[in-house]
Amino acid sequence: MTPPEPQALPEEGPSLEDVLLRFRDFLSLKGLRFTRERELLLAAIFHAPRHFEAEDLIRTVHERNSRVSRATIYRTLSLLEESGILQKSLFGHNRHFYESVVGRHHHDHIVCIRCGQIREFDDSRIEAVQIEMCERFGYTMVDHLHEIFGVCSACQKQEATGGEPAA
Ligand SMILES: [Zn+2]
Ligand SMILES: [Zn+2]
């Protein structure tokens, strides 16, 4: 059993109130309604683990209120992404995870393809090289996602000893 390890970049996030206000403003700009379902979803996201998958959110929401359809959840996730509240990153082949990035510093991820552990890191050398690449090709950087996929040390050990995967 691997004890949970602290995230590399602990930070104070914004309040749920702040995020709700920001989403409501975004929706009204788009002429969309801030429904009770959307409010409920935002609250669920606010209490979810920092990095979560759409299916995790669907499961949590359905345990509490099964009337919110999958389509609404996916649509709301995509609106939250468009509003800049959530960031969607790759979680291996054809899988994604979301995280709230409001009030958080930019960071990159290293993902274990076996157990799904996600670590955050921020390295000024990597950031600088990316800016350098943009300059070389004459680009202005708008955003970037940088992710490393690997096998974490706990999973490497397990594979070496042929042990059972941890629950
Ligand atoms: Zn692992
Ligand atoms: Zn993250």
pLDDT for 53: 94
pLDDT tens-digit series, residues 75-127: 999 999 999 999 999 887 788 999 998 888 889 999 999 999 999 999 999 99
pTM of the model: 0.80
Percentage of residues in the chain having pLDDT higher than 90: 66
Is the pLDDT reported for residue 158 higher than 60? yes
Burial class (CB in 10 A: 0-12, 13-18, 19+), 26: middle
Ligand showing the shortest atom-to-Cα distance for residue 119: 2
Domains of the chain, residue spans:
16-161
The DSSP element (H or E) to which 120 belongs, if any, is: strand 118-121
Tokens representing 23?
């989403």
Cα of 107 to ligand 2 centre, how many Å?
6
The domain 16-161 having CATH identifier 3.20.20.10: the answer here is no
Ligand showing the shortest atom-to-Cα distance for residue 106: 2
Number of separate helices (H) and strands (E) present in the chain: 6, 5
pLDDT for 88: 93
Tokens representing 15?
């309040």
Q: Are the beta carbons of 27 and 33 closer than 8 angstroms?
A: yes
Cα of 162 to ligand 2 centre, how many Å?
30
User: Residue 35: left (phi > 0), alpha (psi -120 to 50), or beta?
Assistant: beta
Q: How many angstroms separate the first and last alpha carbons of the chain? A: 8
* SS3 label, residue 112: strand
